[in-house]
């Protein structure tokens, strides 16, 4: 049992809670998610099972899409309605002003991780320090907001759809917009609609279920490992070559030339797939295919980043 199941996370549970629940339902030895959702958030939470946990590093960096609701006039210490109120305002803001402020957030911006977040400092998440009254200064990080579409304004609540890069804090977006408008704001609702190739229509609910029935549903909807990295160029290899990769062999120009190779540049990420359909390894090209003829056959052509055991995936 190696693959990825997409869970529709309910509000009130941590991402870790969901991982533990899925692990128990499936009887998996290992499980892990590909991107934390706060307890108040709902929606798409991909869970990797067993050998597929090795894929998490390639999936956590995918772009995300959310449906968020912002509450104007309220500021909290956590930047959402789960925290303590630190400021209030009855200032009225026109729809045009709200839309203009949100529009200013589109593009590359810098965000300081919220004090109550899972970002780690000296091995401990920031929220643990914050709960002790210790608020650390952390460096701002660059994130990118690809689009923001306002879905509804029912003052003081504003609902908008946002597409963004990994590591974006929607709480911070709301707080920053509130400061721009001069009334303060916090996040009061969040649903993840998409995480990379995983969308809400692929997600399975864990509400009110019988364990065996839910296990069958999850197995039926499990995404095989071979289909989890669709943007990576695949190179089909015979079992002998696949086994050598699993044993630690680094692909050379000579061994790569034995296979059908598409146009690849240095730095491109690729996946080796066996003729039996199993995901064998993920690698980074070190030399462009177009210049293979200029290298000695023993020259390393690609660097193996991750190898997967010979299992049905």
Residue 313 lies in a domain: no
- The pLDDT value given to residue 66: 98
* Rounded Cα distance, 55 and 59, in Å: 6
Exactly one of 8, 17, 38, 247 is catalytic; which is it?
38
Whether residue 80 is found in the same domain as residue 187: yes
- The pLDDT value given to residue 116: 65
- The pLDDT value given to residue 61: 76
Mean pLDDT along residues 93-115:
92
pLDDT-derived band at 136, boundaries 50, 70, 90: low
Whether 230 shows a pLDDT value over 80: the answer reads yes
The DSSP-derived string for 263-286 is: ---TT-EEEEEETTS-EEEEEEES
Residue 14 lies in a domain: yes
| Three-point CA angle 94, 97, 100, nearest 5° | 150
pLDDT-derived band at 284, boundaries 50, 70, 90: very high
Q: Any idea which residue has 């509804």 for tokens?
A: 152
Whether residue 220 is found in the same domain as residue 238: no
Whether 209 shows a pLDDT value over 90: the answer reads no
Whether residue 112 is found in the same domain as residue 148: yes
pLDDT-derived band at 79, boundaries 50, 70, 90: very high
* Rounded Cα distance, 58 and 222, in Å: 18
- Residue 177 in tokens: 């917009």
What one-character DSSP code corresponds to residue 209? -
* Rounded Cα distance, 69 and 289, in Å: 48
pLDDT tens-digit readout, 236-264: 999 999 999 999 999 999 999 988 888 99
The whole-angstrom distance between residue 143's C-alpha and the CA centroid of its chain comes to 14
Whether 231 shows a pLDDT value over 90: the answer reads no
Whether 127 shows a pLDDT value over 80: the answer reads no
List the beta strands (DSSP E) in 80-224: 85-88, 107-111, 120-121, 124-125, 141-154, 157-164, 185-195, 198-199, 204-205, 223-224
Q: Greater confidence, 60 or 96?
A: 96
- The pLDDT value given to residue 140: 79
* Rounded Cα distance, 87 and 90, in Å: 11
Active site residue 80: no
Whether 163 shows a pLDDT value over 70: the answer reads yes
Whether residue 152 is found in the same domain as residue 190: yes
Mean pLDDT along residues 298-309:
94
Residues 6+ apart with CB under 8 A from 222: 1, 3, 4, 5, 49
Residue 162 lies in a domain: yes
Whether the bond between 156 and the residue before it is cis, its omega within 30 degrees of 0, is yes
Whether residue 223 is found in the same domain as residue 290: no
Residue 312 lies in a domain: no
Output the domain CATH number for residue 214: 3.30.2350.10
Whether residue 159 is found in the same domain as residue 238: no
CB neighbours (10 Å) of residue 219? 12
Using CB atoms within 10 Å of the CB of residue 17, give its burial: 0 to 12 exposed, 13 to 18 middle, 19+ buried: middle
Pair type for strands 269-274 and 233-237: parallel
The DSSP-derived string for 175-187 is: HHHHHHHTS-EEE
pLDDT-derived band at 178, boundaries 50, 70, 90: very high
Q: What is the mean pLDDT of the chain?
A: 91
Using CB atoms within 10 Å of the CB of residue 209, give its burial: 0 to 12 exposed, 13 to 18 middle, 19+ buried: middle
Whether residue 57 is found in the same domain as residue 71: no
pLDDT-derived band at 311, boundaries 50, 70, 90: low
Mean pLDDT along residues 50-67:
91
Whether residue 206 is found in the same domain as residue 135: no
Whether residue 247 is found in the same domain as residue 147: no
Residue 106 lies in a domain: yes
Q: If DSSP codes are grouped into helix, strand and coil, which group holds residue 163?
A: strand
- The pLDDT value given to residue 142: 92
Contact 159, 176 (CB under 8 A): no
Whether residue 103 is found in the same domain as residue 148: yes
Output the domain CATH number for residue 278: 2.30.130.10
Range of the domain at 244: 233-307
Domain count, the chain: 3
Residue 271 lies in a domain: yes
pLDDT-derived band at 71, boundaries 50, 70, 90: very high
Whether residue 109 is found in the same domain as residue 161: yes
Mean pLDDT along residues 119-148:
77
pLDDT-derived band at 282, boundaries 50, 70, 90: very high
pLDDT tens-digit readout, 6-51: 999 999 999 999 999 999 999 999 999 988 899 999 999 999 999 9
- The pLDDT value given to residue 308: 94
Whether residue 210 is found in the same domain as residue 247: no
The whole-angstrom distance between residue 98's C-alpha and the CA centroid of its chain comes to 28
Residue 145 lies in a domain: yes
Residue 222 lies in a domain: yes
Whether 313 shows a pLDDT value over 80: the answer reads no
- The pLDDT value given to residue 258: 86
- The pLDDT value given to residue 118: 65
């Amino acid at each position: 049992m190696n693959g990825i199941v997409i869970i529709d996370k309910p509000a009130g549970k941590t991402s870790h809670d969901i991982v533990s629940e899925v692990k128990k339902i499936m009887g998996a030895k290992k499980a892990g998610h590909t991107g934390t959702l706060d307890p108040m958030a709902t929606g798409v939470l991909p869970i990797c099972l067993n050998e597929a946990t090795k894929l998490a590093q390639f999936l956590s960096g995918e772009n995300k899409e959310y449906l968020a609701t912002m509450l104007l006039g309220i500021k909290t210490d956590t930047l959402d309605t789960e925290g303590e109120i630190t400021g209030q305002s009855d200032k009225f803001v026109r729809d045009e002003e709200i839309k203009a402020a949100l529009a200013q957030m589109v593009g590359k911006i810098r965000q300081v991780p919220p004090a109550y977040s899972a970002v780690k400092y000296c091995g401990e998440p920031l929220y643990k320090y914050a709960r002790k009254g210790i608020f650390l200064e952390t460096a701002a990080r660059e994130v990118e907001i690809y689009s923001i579409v306002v879905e509804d304004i029912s003052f003081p609540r504003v609902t908008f759809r946002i597409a963004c890069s990994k590591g974006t804090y929607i709480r911070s977006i709301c707080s920053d917009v509130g400061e721009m408008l001069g009334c303060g704001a916090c996040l009061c609702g969040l649903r993840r609609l998409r995480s990379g190739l995983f969308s809400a229509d692929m997600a399975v609910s864990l509400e009110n279920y019988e364990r065996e029935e839910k296990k069958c549903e999850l197995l039926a909807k499990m995404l095989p490992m071979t289909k989890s990295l669709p943007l990576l160029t695949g190179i089909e290899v015979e079992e002998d070559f696949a086994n050598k990769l699993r044993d630690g062999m680094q692909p050379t120009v000579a061994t790569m030339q034995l296979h059908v190779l598409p146009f690849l540049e240095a730095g491109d990420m690729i996946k080796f797939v066996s003729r039996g359909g199993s995901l064998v390894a993920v690698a980074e090209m070190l030399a462009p295919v177009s210049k293979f003829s200029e290298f000695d056959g023993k020259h390393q052509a690609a660097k193996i980043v991750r190898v997967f055991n010979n299992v049905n995936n």
